[in-house]
Amino acid sequence: MLKQRETAGAREDSAETRELTYAQAIREALQLAMNRDERVFMLGEDIGVYGGAFGVSDGLIDQFGAERIRDTPISEAAIAGAAIGSAMTGMRPIAEIQFMDFITLSMEQLVLQGAKIRFMFGGKATVPLVLRTPAGSGTGAAAQHSESLEAWFVHVPGLKVVMPSTPYDAKGLLLAAIEDDNPVIFVEHKLLYRTKGHVPEGYYTVPLSQSDIKREGTDLSVIATSIMVPRAIEAAEILAKKGIELEVVDPRTLKPYDATIATQSVRKTGKALVVHEAPKTGGFGAEVVAELVAGDAFDYLDAPVRRLAGLDVPIPYNRELERAAVPQVEDIVREARALVEGVY
């Protein structure tokens, strides 16, 4: 059985790495960035004394004070507007939108203002802003607190979009996002917060332009994002017992998207399955498929590229309906096996 491949930068001696949760890795990145640069500060609803809706910023107000860990009114437009304005004047804000669903209330500021300012001013003004937001289903939070809206922002020129799937990537990508002079939408899946993984101590970055192979395989390339990465790996371990080896590719950054790794993987395996939680129609998976069939991978495909994504429905509150609305491990196993065995 092929073993899961560690992220390139994480190949360090085990004695030099620690196991942190995804939430702890993000908190450590925030601490490192704020200790390193006094221009970095945070703003959002309940991020101070309360520690954030998911506890990610717990304790930071005690370390950095209320000036740098700023609780805001319940106004996503105000949060985004204040972050963009402060970024333009030389600060490096990290704004938090409590649930990705509520990012809809900040669209004018993010899309019409923040994304365009650097271009409209010929680079004389920059917007070094990171907007963190928890997304996704699986917590019983229903239709208004469970959406995956990343494809909206991939479509907007001037914005970068990041979706880490591991604690190592969460820390390194967040530090890279904070260093970046462009607005970055940093999407954290709620179910990943308690997952654990090896995270080196100290400051390191993961470039906002590199996909990664999370598990090597020979029979099928699975290009998955966010929570679907660990689900794809779990599916791969199940199928490995049946002699089917999946290669799991994680884009990590959706914009800019590095199609090279997925292309190389498909050239090796000859088959591809694209998996994401967001609804299929207009989802990021369509962009991945387009890159594969329009590029160097096309001549190596032995079967049509398949997409496995969320249903085109609002996320239900009912637990079983919620589960049925987005891909689960068994769905990935079924679709992957069908592709490998030619039953499609």
In DSSP notation, 18-33 reads EEEEHHHHHHHHHHHH
Query: In the annotation, is 76 catalytic?
Result: yes
Using CA atoms, how far apart are residues 272 and 263, in angstroms rounded to an integer? 10
Query: In the annotation, is 335 catalytic?
Result: no
CA 72 vs CA 46, 48, 76, 325: distances in Å:
7, 9, 9, 33
Catalytic residue among 45, 96, 145, 198: 145
Residue 206 CB: number of other CB atoms within 10 A?
26
Using CA atoms, how far apart are residues 265 and 160, in angstroms rounded to an integer? 24
82 and 56 Cβ atoms separated by less than 8 Å: no
Token pair, residue 92, equals: 């490096």
Token pair, residue 240, equals: 């490995």
210 φ, ψ (degrees, to nearest 5): -130, 120
Block residue for tokens 């239900």? 316
246 and 236 Cβ atoms separated by less than 8 Å: yes
Catalytic residue among 28, 45, 76, 291: 76
What lies within 8 Å, CB to CB, of 22 at 6+ separation is 164, 166, 167, 170, 188, 192, 193, 194, 195, 196, 197
Number of residues in the chain:
344
Residues assigned a catalytic role: 76, 145
